[in-house]
Amino acid sequence: MKGGFRVFILLCTVVMLLTGCMEALQTEGPPAAAPPAAVAPTLSALPQATEVGLELTPTVTANLAPDPATAAPTVPTLTPEPPTLPEPSVTSVPTLRPTVASGSLPPLMLPTRSPLSNEERWRQQQLDRQPFEAPVVFSTVNSELWWFDPVHQQSVILGQINGSFLAQAEFTLRSQGIPALEVPYQIEVSYGLTSLSPALLERMHLAGYTDWIETYVFVTSSVSRR
């Protein structure tokens, strides 16, 4: 009995040693393999959506941003700038100023019209004057003898004449448009007119006449050529 008990204990010891070795080998051995990846079910394996009213398009949320490590670098777009034109150069034009001599300038003299002489003023009153080749004798009854004062530019009556008188030209009086005869008159001598008023004599002297003046008689039915 003692011999069998010893054998039993020896076997138990061997079994325990073998068990410890096996556990040690399992702990220090290679890592366990990862479980195989799950295979995505195909569309045929999915349940039909027509019976339950579900959409077949799966909702997939994915980040579409490129991987910075693998994305190609972005090339910046260069926009050509418009060429800068040079500003036009402005050439200053010298201002020419007239050179004024020192001292006061002479006064500006405007051209003035020369005054008319007394004879020219008298001729302006005679329109279409036609001188005779020689003095012509006329006859009249109670015709008025007129004189044009060139200083005051007025026609004044000297008196009335009767009988014959001499005319040296014919014309039309501007102020009245009446035909007239130009009659030379010797102051206070001719045609019986010898007592002129001092005022008329003063006006004749002021006009520069002291002996002869040109007077006129209107051509009327009382005047006839002899």
Higher pLDDT, 215 or 10: 215
Return the higher-pLDDT residue of 75 and 193.
Answer: 193
Residue bearing the bigger pLDDT, 197 or 101 = 197
Give CA angle at 160 (119, 145), nearest 5°.
15
Q: Which residue intervals of 34-173 are DSSP H helices?
A: 118-124
DSSP state of 58: -
Give the number of C-alpha atoms closer than 13 A to the C-alpha of residue 124, restricted to the C-beta side: 10
Position 150 pLDDT exceeds 80: yes
* Strand 223-225 versus strand 212-218 pairing type: unpaired
The pLDDT tens digits of the residues spanning 79-115 come to: 666 666 666 665 666 666 666 555 666 776 666 677 8
Residues whose CB falls within 8 Å of the CB of residue 187, separated by 6 or more in sequence, listed in order:
196, 201, 204, 209, 210, 211, 212, 213
Mean pLDDT score, 160-180: 96
Q: Is the pLDDT of residue 144 over 50?
A: yes
pLDDT band at 51 (very low <50, low <70, confident <90, very high): very low
| Pair type for strands 223-225 and 179-186 | unpaired
Q: What is the pLDDT of residue 146?
A: 97
Q: How far apart are CA 44 and CA 95, in angstroms?
A: 100
| 154 pLDDT above the threshold of 60 | yes
Q: In the structure, what pLDDT confidence band is assigned to residue 12 with cuts at 50, 70 and 90?
A: confident
Query: What integer is the mean pLDDT of 69-86?
Result: 59
pLDDT at 72 over 50: yes
pLDDT greater at residue 64 or residue 147: 147
Q: Where are the alpha helices (DSSP H) in the chain?
A: 2-28, 118-124, 198-206
Q: pLDDT-derived band of residue 190, with 50, 70 and 90 as boundaries?
A: very high
**pLDDT beyond 50 at 1:** yes
Instruction: In whole angstroms, give the CA distance from residue 81 to residue 148.
Output: 94
Mean pLDDT of 181-190: 96
Amino acid 220: pLDDT: 94
The string of DSSP letters for 89-123 reads PPPPPPPP-PPPPSSPPPPP----PPPPPHHHHHH
- What region does 103 belong to: left with phi over 0, alpha with psi -120 to 50, or beta? left
